[in-house]
Chain A
């Protein structure tokens, strides 16, 4: 059992409230996932820079001289904004991949949890309320975000075992359920050169989607392909730069509920997560169909 929440705002005026609304939703799902929690926030800033969210178990040691180190190695301008044991690194768009490669190669104590123009991911062990307060989720603004509360079944309770998992630039995955073929699929993906941080089943799901997209499939196609390649129970929510997507396995025993009105589209594992939203009584509330990929995107 885990809890998932997602919120996509249709009105710009609500953007400063995103973190506040999302943290309230997250806390309602505490008894579905008391072990750890995580959030992905898309802050919708129009900027020339891209960013990486990084995490370290020794931030006081690893973060202070990191920007200097990156500058000296790659000769790029980079800035860092710390948030507890996470930090966001800002640099120009064509350099973030070099920074990620550098950290993965030479600074293994620092983990890159997300990469992209808008996404930031924060996750930690502990009750969702504690995690939301630790990162001051309430104060975060943005156009959309997803959150996860974890009750661990397949692997250890750890920061890196918490969701969301990055699947690519500005993309992430959260999961309620368990994948039963994650070991064999991990072995297969490792042979394809994919790197894994944990023994977690959802990381395999995320890596699978990334791998499919490397093969040229779109995210939607990758999710559809997953219906035959991923064995187990799942409700997936994927965050994208423009919105989020939902997919339930064909048995659909893991709960999922959606709500939509003129101001937002919201996802919850249960109605309790949606009950905290304004004017929910007037929203259309329904369950996503099994084995059907849904996407909600910003109108561009």
Chain B
């Protein structure tokens, strides 16, 4: 495993090394001394492994494609924002809007994630072992948000076709988000996501939430909900 140290390299130098990796390469990198740095390991597009020893600031693994990024610490706001594919695993907690606008790939958070988790998600799978904050999955379009803990206020407000699975308590649901039946296919899906995230709980304990599809088109009777 090759090492990059943020005490020796600037952020731009470090990101340039990771961004210029061979698209067919399988290199492994260890990042030392992140100390809350912003925009760490962003815009990667090679199938490399990046292990970050410590906590990061804003936008860690943003726009990621193909890379597997593993943070041994916590991440700041906007982790894996707009991720296309690949994986971000966070051993600690995540701050606001983790996985926002993510198109694909998997975001795994072993701790808690705060407000706006998965806001406007567009195909990403997000699995959280702990709890998440308010306004999560706001306007979420597609993908799956799996939460093994509890959820704050206004879950799934104005949601489109993303699916939300929650094991714990939900403080409140946002406009047009309702509880839906958990079928065998959904249990299989959650089970698969939990197993691949190495989170050991029963898929059958989860409830499913999604869109009531009442706010898709303008309707004068729904005026108060817009």
Known: A255-B77, A285-B74, A287-B93. A271 touches B57 (CB 8 A): yes
Chain A proximity mask over B29-42: 1 for CB below 8 Å, otherwise 0: 00000011100000
In the assembled complex, the CB of A214 is this many whole angstroms from the nearest CB of chain B, namely: 33
Closest to A281 in B: B54
Q: Does B163 contact A (CB under 8 A)?
A: no
User: What size tier do the contact residues of chain B reach?
Assistant: 20 to 34
Q: Does A290 contact B (CB under 8 A)?
A: yes
Q: Are B76 and A270 in contact (CB under 8 A)?
A: yes
Q: Which of B35, B55, B57 contacts A285 (CB 8 A)?
A: B55
Known: A270-B76, A272-B37, A286-B112. A255 touches B55 (CB 8 A): no
Chain B proximity mask over A238-281: 1 for CB below 8 Å, otherwise 0: 00000000000000110101000000000000111111100001
Chain B proximity mask over A15-46: 1 for CB below 8 Å, otherwise 0: 00000000000001000000000000000000
User: What size tier do the contact residues of chain A reach?
Assistant: 10 to 19
Give CA–CA (A270, B75) in the complex, Å. Answer: 10
Give CA–CA (A20, B17) in the complex, Å. Answer: 35
Cβ contacts under 8 Å, A276 to chain B: 35
Q: Does B82 contact A (CB under 8 A)?
A: no
Give CA–CA (A274, B54) in the complex, Å. Answer: 12
Cβ contacts under 8 Å, B57 to chain A: 270-272
Q: Which of A253, A274, A289 contacts B36 (CB 8 A)?
A: A274
Known: A285-B74, A285-B92. A271 touches B112 (CB 8 A): no
Q: Does B114 contact A (CB under 8 A)?
A: yes
Give CA–CA (A182, B121) in the complex, Å. Answer: 36
B1-52 CB contacts (< 8 Å) to partner A: 35-37
In the assembled complex, the CB of A253 is this many whole angstroms from the nearest CB of chain B, namely: 7
Q: Does B136 contact A (CB under 8 A)?
A: no
Chain A proximity mask over B56-81: 1 for CB below 8 Å, otherwise 0: 11100000000000000110110000
In the assembled complex, the CB of A289 is this many whole angstroms from the nearest CB of chain B, namely: 8
Q: Are B36 and A270 in contact (CB under 8 A)?
A: yes
Give CA–CA (A28, B35) in the complex, Å. Answer: 11
Q: Are A285 and B76 in contact (CB under 8 A)?
A: no
In the assembled complex, the CB of B10 is this many whole angstroms from the nearest CB of chain A, namely: 15
Q: Which of A257, A274, A289, A290 contacts B95 (CB 8 A)?
A: A257
Q: Are A287 and B35 in contact (CB under 8 A)?
A: no
Give CA–CA (A290, B136) in the complex, Å. Answer: 14
Closest to B74 in A: A285
Q: Does B85 contact A (CB under 8 A)?
A: no
Q: Does B96 contact A (CB under 8 A)?
A: yes
Q: Does B207 contact A (CB under 8 A)?
A: no
Give CA–CA (A185, B77) in the complex, Å. Answer: 32
Q: Are A286 and B37 in contact (CB under 8 A)?
A: no
Give CA–CA (A273, B76) in the complex, Å. Answer: 12
Q: Are B76 and A275 in contact (CB under 8 A)?
A: no
Q: Does B122 contact A (CB under 8 A)?
A: no
Closest to A276 in B: B35
Give CA–CA (A151, B134) in the complex, Å. Answer: 27
Q: Are A252 and B93 in contact (CB under 8 A)?
A: no
Give CA–CA (A114, B107) in the complex, Å. Answer: 47
Cβ contacts under 8 Å, A271 to chain B: 35-36, 55-57, 74, 76
Give CA–CA (A255, B55) in the complex, Å. Answer: 16
Cβ contacts under 8 Å, A287 to chain B: 93, 95, 114, 133
Cβ contacts A to B, 25 pairs, < 8 Å: A252-B114, A252-B134, A253-B96, A255-B76, A257-B95, A270-B57, A270-B76, A271-B36, A271-B55, A271-B57, A271-B74, A274-B36, A275-B35, A275-B54, A276-B35, A281-B54, A285-B93, A286-B93, A286-B112, A287-B93, A287-B114, A287-B133, A289-B133, A290-B115, A290-B133
- Per CB-CB distance, the 9 closest pairs between chain A and chain B, nearest first, are A271-B36, A272-B36, A275-B35, A287-B114, A275-B36, A271-B55, A285-B74, A270-B57, A252-B115
